[in-house]
Structure 1
Amino acid sequence: MAGPAEWSPTMDATEEIQKICVQMKTDVDKFTGVNYGEFKAVKYRNQIVTGGQNYIIKVYVGGEEYIHLSLYGKPDGVVTLRGVQQHKTEDDLLEPFPK
């Protein structure tokens, strides 16, 4: 696991990461203007920061399409959408991106 303020290596999505994605789907749909039929977390990276964690999550949304989510999670379980990158592929690397 990465130390404070370092991004973790890319890891396979866990059940917890999938739950976060399901929780954020409505916000992602509003942000992008797209109602994604499929929404399956595939890979993720996280970063421990003061007061919570940052996440970058690769989400499969159907066909050959993936999106990347930038999220911030507080210790109390509240997660905030910070940004979305659309039109990604299975092979695109998960890199931190601006809001």
Structure 2
Amino acid sequence: MPLRRGGTSEAKDANEEVQKICDEIKSHAEDKAGRTFDVFTAKSFKTQPVAGTNYFIKVHVGEDDYIHLRVYKTLPHAGEKLELHSLQTSKTHHDPIEYF
């Protein structure tokens, strides 16, 4: 079934593209969370097509700790810039990725 604008995709395993997004946004996530992360590994993600793409990404940050990121990626004609919109801390491996 095609994804309509505004809805989020099903969760998928993270791939190289999503890890690259996490690598680029890591310092912003650390600033927003008020801590540093020795581990920052994308595990799964959902996307939401808007005027660009929202990525909702589950990230392993060490031991049993996870965070969820909401990252906005602009359209190609706007340079495909990344912006960390928000993050959720105190997540676990089993917490589903939901819109936030």
Within the candidate set 85, 88, 93, 2:91 is matched to 88
Q: 2: distance between equivalents of 1:8 and 1:43?
A: 12
Task: Encode CA deviations 1:41-98: one digit per residue, 9 max, x unaligned.
Answer: 0000001112x0011000000100000001110022211011110010000000011x
Superposed CA RMSD: 0.9
- Match runs of 1:56-75 below 5 Å: 56-75=56-75
Number of residue pairs the alignment of both structures matches = 96
Are positions 1:48 and 2:49 aligned together? yes
Q: 1: distance between equivalents of 2:39 and 2:4?
A: 33
List structure 1 segments (4+ residues) > 4 angstroms apart after TM superposition: none
- Which residue of 1 is the match for residue 38 of structure 2? 37
Task: Encode CA deviations 1:1-33: one digit per residue, 9 max, x unaligned.
Answer: 522221000000010000000000000011111
TM-score using structure 2 length:
0.92
For structure 2, the 5+ residue unaligned runs are none
Name the % identity. 36
Instruction: Find the residue that maps to 2:36 and give its secondary structure.
Output: coil
For structure 1, the 5+ residue unaligned runs are none
